[in-house]
Structure 1
């Protein structure tokens, strides 16, 4: 197990990397030109990998849709390449809690988000300075807020296509992973993440990535929530956008 973990860690750190300031700006420029949303260096989303009922704590792995699963969280860039991956929490865990455990919250500062850039996430996540979420549609959105949500959604679909592409190539991720060892499943999935990025870099994937969409309603760190200051900054930033 230690040899497997070491090899996966080595390849993960080589093929799944956070963007440099130069690459972050390049991504932001491309996404703004493509969709109109400024300052985006990546999109974040969670998804479930169906699994057989584990022998231990199987109730914890039942998600809101009623089947056993492992929680995944991925961030991708404009090329559908994963720039951060976190896997292993039981299916019953909420997306926002996965975010807090994943280590991404620790990166939500100006060092990792130069020039006031940010991620895009859906309403499951906490709005903050470096994570923009949509306005909740209460039936009274302004024209500007409605337009913001439309551009936000159009841009964020990139991560859903990336997840769809992953599940298209690893069908077990869409159906049911035939493994019961919950300690081994994250390593198997992480290997698929790495191969996903290698495939994109080698241009071995399908050309029409925009047509691929399969919607779906390991860092050793503790949970971390956004500060009130960051949440307030995120509110002001979203209004300005």
Structure 2
């Protein structure tokens, strides 16, 4: 805040108020832009992911990213992530166009991606709604637990088809990495 204030020539508290107002305005609009896809949209997403990476049936790719924050005054150690800085671990799912379809942004930096997924409403929704592969798959990295709706790569592939799976998985899942930037 201090650097921004110095650069623009305004007080740090003014920068803080502006950031707070903009953040609240964006959050109030999030439901208009971040929404789980309809059945028709899922079909389009599956085709798009297949065209992009060769992995069939994918409706989203999931990952977490750490958003750096100032050290909080309460429960400070839980916000220190594995890289040693204070953060919020933000979990997101994106579609084949890099549009967010789900975001969870409330966990301290020390919390593992797989725990955030396990505790999320989207996990509960997918657990109940996912009856078969045709319902769609989410691709995650090896930090996630493989589930009926969440595919992760083979850790140590031993067969050629494991390698092909991992190659298609990586080509398809990189969409979330690009979305985060």
Identify the TM-score tier after normalising by the shorter chain. 0.7 to 0.9
Partner secondary structure for residue 32 of structure 2:
helix
Contact 2:63 2:176 in 1 (8 A): yes
Structure 1 segments of 4 or more deviating over 2 A?
3-10, 109-116
Larger of the two Rg values belongs to structure: 2
Q: Which of 148-157 and 7-16 deviates more?
A: 7-16
Structure possessing the higher relative contact order (Cα contacts under 8 Å, 6 or more residues apart):
1
From 38, 54, 64, give the equivalent of 1:46: 64
Contact 1:110 1:116 in 2 (8 A): no
1:116 aligns with 2:135: yes
Q: CA deviation at 1:123?
A: 0.8
CA distance in 2, matches of 1:28, 1:70: 30
Q: CA deviation at 1:113?
A: 7.7
Q: What whole-Å deviation, never above 9, does each CA across 1:178-231 have from its counterpart, x for those lacking one? A: xxxxxxxxxxxxxxxxxxxxxxxxxxxxxxxxxxxxxxxxxxxxxxxxxxxxxx
* TM-score, reference length from structure 2: 0.81
Q: 1:81 maps to what in 2?
A: 99
Q: 2:11 maps to what in 1?
A: none
Q: CA RMSD in A?
A: 2.3
Q: Structure 2: which 5+ runs fail to align?
A: 1-20
CA distance in 2, matches of 1:117, 1:104: 13
Alignment of 1:179-198 (within 5 A): none
Q: 1:132 maps to what in 2?
A: 151
* TM-score, reference length from structure 1: 0.62
> Which structure is higher in strand share?
2
CA distance in 1, matches of 2:168, 2:25: 40
Q: 2:163 maps to what in 1?
A: 146
CA distance in 1, matches of 2:131, 2:55: 16
Contact 2:130 2:149 in 1 (8 A): no
Q: Structure 1: which 5+ runs fail to align?
A: 165-241
Q: What whole-Å deviation, never above 9, does each CA across 1:81-112 have from its counterpart, x for those lacking one? A: 10000102110101101112221211214746
Contact 2:34 2:101 in 1 (8 A): yes
Q: 2:177 maps to what in 1?
A: 160
